[in-house]
Chain A
């Protein structure tokens, strides 16, 4: 399922003294089975954009097309239920939203709300709990007896249980330890590759954006500053640094080294392997070793 925006804008409390233009002139497109990362400062409009992706907000100008449904500023869409099922949003700290007595009930809550019979929902719960890397016996436990990392997976399982086509993740690794972070990022990558689910990742981690995404959208002061492949985005690292954004540590190190040496080493390295290879080639060419 594809999502496309046309001159999308959203102003909070329009026509009041508190009017605040959060986003404007947004033209982005999220292809089927793609992995998109949205990066930008706190306050750059990422969260406002995110809430349009499943119709939680209606644009105040322009439009957004989600699959066959168009939501525009002019007309209020009525059939948003199906959109909300197909585009699952996992908000920050989703474990705060767990509430049922057992993990199974919590996961079944969403599908049953959408009219899925209980037996079927339970079957689905068994399926998704494995997809998030937990074992079936956890289904009987209270979500509040789990560790933070497990709770987060359960919350994600609850969204997966609705069979979404698009999974939108707002800072999904915040607060996790490095191992938990890697595990959960690998899991999303797998969901995309094995289930064909599109991933939209809102993140501060430039490493994750460059490692996993095939399309990066840079938000700045309420609009799209730049978009493209990780290679396009990080080809001019200084530009991003001037915006006050980070760049992957490999890119940052290479830039620092190039500034010191006063020569360009290679295109920005997006992984450690690339950086090592580029440094090595640079010295081999100059036969420094």
Chain B
């Protein structure tokens, strides 16, 4: 097991004194280089967790550690250097008039010398496959391209962790795929820890582990296979069952001999193909 890079220890949080707890005694770790998806219904506490990871909020009870540093007023700037965030709406995240200005913005704020800035901007944009768009104006980009530039802006600051807070929910299917593929590459090639907050189970299925939030508490954590085995329970939690699982369940009802090892699209297709060849 890799070293844990994010640790929540008995964290509780409420937005104001009179409101109920948004997070109740939340405890979990994220390991260096993994992709963790956090899923849950609207209001389950997912986004509150994200805001506690880079000091947009501070825990009311308990502690948050990022790379062994305890989150506090004194450490918040060190922590923000390690944690980059990409938000939902691509149009609300652009500050520059061109793609390269936008990526340079964060570097300027950090006082990075110009020579290094040029290298980092180019490097970050190439990593998200936007290297050819340096001088493009943001409004000429598609949603997926804009979100990839947003990722590059975060990437140029060389973070250890990137949090995607519903970063694909406003994109069309093509844009969503572009962004998820970029994320996968970053994790693989640069060992960046990815935390994605999403309602989309197809997106969560690409993660190494999934954590389900329910009414401010961690309901369950496991790999995608474990999580999807929860089946109807997911629907009770306001989530959905992945398509392949729904289909397999129906086919089993009709007498097909499908087992747990075939619950991925390719495997299910393979099973039916082999079955057909026997005819």
Contact = CB atoms under 8 A, between A and B. Distances in A.
Given A42-B175, A175-B169, A177-B239, A149 B276 contact: no
A271 to B, nearest CB: 11
A272 interface: yes
Contact of B173 (A171, A177, A246): A246
Given A148-B43, A179-B41, A261-B273, A41 B174 contact: yes
A75 interface: no
A225 interface: no
A178 B200 CA distance: 8
Chain A interface residue number, banded: 35 or more
Interface stretch (A1-9, A118-126, A280-288): A280-288
Interface in A171-222: 171, 174-180, 204
A61 B266 CA distance: 49
Interface residues of B, number: 40
Contacts of A260: 269-270, 272-273
B238 A279 contact: no
Given A249-B243, A272-B246, A289-B256, A279 B272 contact: yes
A275 interface: yes
B75 interface: no
B238 A253 contact: no
Contacts of B229: none
A272 B42 contact: no
B251 A279 contact: yes
A87 to B, nearest CB: 24
Contacts of B246: 272
Interface in A217-257: 244-246, 249-250, 253, 256-257
B273 A257 contact: yes
A133 interface: no
Contact of B199 (A42, A177, A244, A279): A177
Interface string B215-229: 000000000000000
Interface in B140-192: 142-143, 166, 169-175
Nearest to B256: A289
A204 B276 contact: no
B97 interface: no
Contact of A261 (B142, B255, B265, B276): B276
Contacts of B41: 177, 179-180
Contacts of B238: 177-180
Contacts of A283: 275-276, 279
Nearest to B173: A246
Contact of A177 (B42, B255, B268, B276): B42
B276 A42 contact: no
B199 to A, nearest CB: 5
B254 interface: yes
Nearest to A44: B172
A102 B86 CA distance: 33
B272 A257 contact: yes
A253 B243 contact: yes
Contacts of B273: 257, 260-261
B29 interface: no
B199 A288 contact: no
Contacts of B199: 175-178
Most chain A CB within 10 A, of B174, B255, B276, is at: B276
Contact of B172 (A41, A148, A179, A253): A41
Contacts of A250: 243
Nearest to A178: B240
Most chain B CB within 10 A, of A41, A250, A263, is at: A41
A148 B41 CA distance: 11
A244 B142 CA distance: 13
Nearest to B202: A249
A276 interface: yes
Contacts of B143: 42
Given A175-B166, A256-B265, A276 B250 contact: yes
A147 interface: yes
A43 B275 CA distance: 43
B132 to A, nearest CB: 18
Given A176-B42, A272-B246, A275-B247, A43 B166 contact: no
22 contacts: A41-B172, A42-B175, A92-B170, A148-B42, A149-B42, A174-B170, A175-B170, A176-B42, A177-B40, A177-B239, A180-B42, A250-B243, A253-B243, A256-B265, A261-B276, A263-B276, A272-B247, A279-B272, A283-B275, A283-B279, A286-B279, A288-B278
Given A178-B201, A260-B272, 9 more contacts: A41-B172, A147-B43, A178-B199, A179-B235, A261-B272, A275-B247, A276-B251, A279-B251, A283-B275
